[in-house]
Amino acid sequence: MQLEYFLLLAAALFCIGIYGLINSRNAVRVLMSIELLLNAVNLNLMAFSNYLDADAKGQVFSVFVITIAAAEAAVGLAIVLAIYRNRDTIDMEQFNLLKW
Amino acid sequence: MLDFLSQTIWLIPCYTLIGAGLALPWSPGFIRRTGPRPAGYINALMTFMAFLHSLIALSDTWNQPPYALSFEWLNAPGLIINLDLEVSTLALGACVLITGLNFLAQVYAIAYLEMDWGWARVYSLMGLFEAGMCLLVLCNSLFFSYVILEILTLGTYLIVGIWYNQSLVVTGARDAFLTKRVGDLILLMGVVALLPLSGTWNFSELAIWAETADLDPTVATLLALTLIAGPIAKCAQFPLHLWLDEAMEGPYPATILRNTLVVSTGAWVLIKVQPIIALSPFGSSVVFAIGAATAVGTSLISVAQIDVKRVLSYLTSAYLGIVFIAVGIGATQAALVLLLTYALAMSLLIMSTGGIVLNNISQDLTQYGGLWSRRPISGLCLIVGGFSLVALPPFGGFWSLVQIADALWETRPGLFAVVLAVNAIVAFSVTRLFGRMFAGEVTDFTRRSSEGLWLLVLPMTILAGVTLHIPLLLAQWDLLPDWAMVNRSLALPLTWSSLAGIGFGSLVYLNPNWEKPVKLSSQAVQDFFAYDFYTPQLYKGTIIFAVDRISKAVYWLDRYIVDGAVNFVGFATVFGGESLKYNTTGRSQFYAFSIILSVAIFILLTTLPYFSNL
């Protein structure tokens, strides 16, 4: 088991998250993709702290990231709910009031 | 007092300019109550004062050596341009002729412009012509002669265009202006080229310079050709002769001046630059070749015209052609005498026909006839003018033509034949004019014709008197060769040629049995002369066509290539904006994609150098 494998896995997860973030039409799925991105970041932090840092600062960071992720998911879901109440849909294609 | 007048010669050109200024209140109609006539009276008075001034100054400076006046006009480092005047007997004599004829023409115009509202304009412009011509004859500088010729070109445009609501008047004025501009522009090239060569524009200094000048033959030829171009256009010589014919749409009083004096301004400049033209044998040959071609051609055209004024306008070109011949062989003195006798005779012809045209409505010769019993004074004046025009002793034209013939016989006998032929054709043409107007049956146009107002007749008769006395005056001034010295072998053929022209003309046109209008056996030949050798069509087909096409092509280039390039830049910007705005999709996922993509590309580009190390 080497550091590179962890990093490559995290990068792959990040790419999948990006793909989901850009491509999903469902707003909840976009939020889920963001969670995936954050998880990829956590993976990275944990891997670096495990291999390179004896003080394990990365683990502290990832605790904070998980906290923030939870808060962000709460706020994000609240926003999606607010939009849904106004527009009766959570299709991302419909939220384009600011186009040309 | 007399001394004062001869010391203030420069005033002569100024009188009528002052008159023109005084006529201003009537021209735009600030004063309507009086009608426009006071403007005319003021100008006629100023002209008369100029006439008196030049007459007194002439008698005062008679046989005195010429003296020079000089006004500084431009003083720049390395270049000083002075307005040089030379007060000589010749110049003052010309001033007397100009102011005198202008005064007669203005008196004539009082009757001719009855009921016309253009008085102020006509009189001011006639004054402008007088001022310009007086300054030209006094002027001793080629540069200022050029300037004056240009001013007179503008004057021609304005005075031909007096009756500007007729389309023929407008085109006539335009063509007169443009044709003269062609000549003036080429003349300007010569004027500008002359200064570095000679170092002076002063005519008398130029003549001295020309005596010893050592010019490259090509330069001399080019210089001569450019200097000839201005007079060619001014004197209505081939190939720039059409404007004079079209300028006949202007009023008659102005025609009196134009056909006699204004066209002579070109000849005057030509005479002044003759020493320079003589530097190039080719240039001199061009002068008399053009003169000879014009004299023969236009006198033949004049025979075929049915318009009174056009007959006279082509005769004008013919006589100026003879002047060109005389200048070409260097007989400048004879050319000046011819200009004098010609000016008086031609203005008499124009005055006598003008009165007839005025109250017979038509200018068409074929509509006339039988005027002799109704208008004897005009008829007599026409006869006097005609006799003085051609070589018929003892009238004026004979003496000047004999002098020219004398000079020709020694150098170029071939040209003497040309002068003989032209003289005969002119005699025929004037006889034809007389015959068609005064002889034959009365027509509807002439049935109720009578002599015009006394103001038309008086200047005409005074001028007839002067014209009849011209040989005596010339003899008085020692300008005539002694009768014993006259070459009889030249005088006789000249006289016979005039008699032949008049006789043949009388046979055809005073003879009621000869069918009129005369039809030649070949209609094509007759049309060829009647339509001015088809020169208008020739110009239309070549120069006007080419200019038209070139300007259209340049317009197209300007419109679509030059304008198009700039417009394309604008269009590209607008189009770019129009198409780029579709980037603003309003979809946050698209924005996220763009941000991530650009960041990725940025990182890729910045880290690219490190990849090569791997």
Contact A22 B593 (CB under 8 A): yes
Q: Best mutation site among A14, A83, A99 for testing chain B: the one with the most B CBs within 10 Å? A: A99
Contact A97 B596 (CB under 8 A): no
What gap in Å lies between CA A65 and CA A78, rounded to an integer?
20
pLDDT tens sequence across B489-518: 888 888 999 999 999 999 888 888 888 778
Note the pLDDT of residue A76: 94
pLDDT tens sequence across A23-77: 999 999 999 999 999 999 999 999 999 999 888 889 999 999 999 999 999 999 9
Contact A22 B592 (CB under 8 A): yes
Q: Which amino acid is at B405?
A: A
Q: Are B451 and B457 in contact (CB under 8 A)?
A: yes
Across the interface, which of A22, A24, A96 has its CB nearest the CB of B586?
A96
Q: Are B251 and B120 in contact (CB under 8 A)?
A: no
Query: Is B579 near chain A, with CB under 8 Å?
Result: no
Phi, psi of B311, deg, nearest 5 = -55, -50
Average pLDDT of the segment spanning B356-365: 87
Q: Please, which pLDDT band fits residue B439 given cuts at 50, 70 and 90?
A: confident
Query: Is B589 near chain A, with CB under 8 Å?
Result: yes
What gap in Å lies between CA B148 and CA B507, rounded to an integer?
46
Note the pLDDT of residue B552: 96
Which residues in chain A have Cβ-Cβ distances shorter than 8 Å to B592?
21-22
Query: Predicted ipTM?
Result: 0.90
pLDDT tens sequence across B405-437: 888 888 888 888 899 999 999 999 999 999 988
> What whole-number percentage of chain B has pLDDT above 70?
99
Which residues in chain A have Cβ-Cβ distances shorter than 8 Å to B587?
92-93, 95-96, 99
Contact A22 B581 (CB under 8 A): no
What gap in Å lies between CA B441 and CA B444, rounded to an integer?
10
Note the pLDDT of residue B2: 63
Q: Please, which pLDDT band fits residue B24 given cuts at 50, 70 and 90?
A: confident
Q: Which amino acid is at A62?
A: S
**Nearest-CA distance from B611 to chain A in Å?**
17
pLDDT tens sequence across B110-166: 988 888 888 888 999 999 999 999 999 999 899 999 999 999 999 999 999 999 999
Contact A100 B588 (CB under 8 A): no
What gap in Å lies between CA B233 and CA B416, rounded to an integer?
24
Contact B585 A96 (CB under 8 A): yes
Contact A22 B587 (CB under 8 A): no
**Nearest-CA distance from B571 to chain A in Å?**
20
pLDDT tens sequence across B519-573: 888 888 888 888 888 988 999 999 999 999 999 999 999 999 999 999 999 999 9
Helix (H) or strand (E) holding A15: helix A3-23
Which residue on chain A is closest to B578 by alpha carbon? A100
Which residues in chain B have Cβ-Cβ distances shorter than 8 Å to A100?
581-582, 584-586
Instruction: Name the more confident of A48 and B69.
Output: A48
User: CA nearest B275: which of B214, B204, B326?
Assistant: B204
Q: What is the mean pLDDT of chain B?
A: 89
Query: Is B577 near chain A, with CB under 8 Å?
Result: no
Note the pLDDT of residue B428: 94
Note the pLDDT of residue B477: 80
Report the sign of the C-alpha dihedral through residues B357, B361, B366, B368, in that order.
negative
Note the pLDDT of residue B613: 76
Which residues in chain B have Cβ-Cβ distances shorter than 8 Å to A95?
586-588
Contact B587 A97 (CB under 8 A): no
Q: What is the pTM of this model?
A: 0.82
Note the pLDDT of residue B173: 92
pLDDT at B611 over 70: yes
pLDDT at B105 over 90: yes
Which residues in chain A have Cβ-Cβ distances shorter than 8 Å to B584?
98-100
Note the pLDDT of residue A70: 95
Q: Please, which pLDDT band fits residue B323 given cuts at 50, 70 and 90?
A: very high
pLDDT at B483 over 80: no
Contact A100 B582 (CB under 8 A): yes
Query: Is B611 near chain A, with CB under 8 Å?
Result: no
Q: Best mutation site among B582, B588, B596 for testing chain A: the one with the most A CBs within 10 Å? A: B588
pLDDT at B250 over 80: yes
pLDDT tens sequence across B47-57: 999 999 999 88
Which residue on chain B is closest to A99 by alpha carbon? B586
Q: Please, which pLDDT band fits residue B484 given cuts at 50, 70 and 90?
A: low
For residue B579, count other CB atoms closer than 10 A to its CB: 9
CA atoms within a 13 Å half-sphere pointing along the CA-CB vector of B110? 21
Which residues in chain B have Cβ-Cβ distances shorter than 8 Å to A28?
none
**Nearest-CA distance from A18 to chain B in Å?**
8
Q: Are A28 and A80 in contact (CB under 8 A)?
A: yes
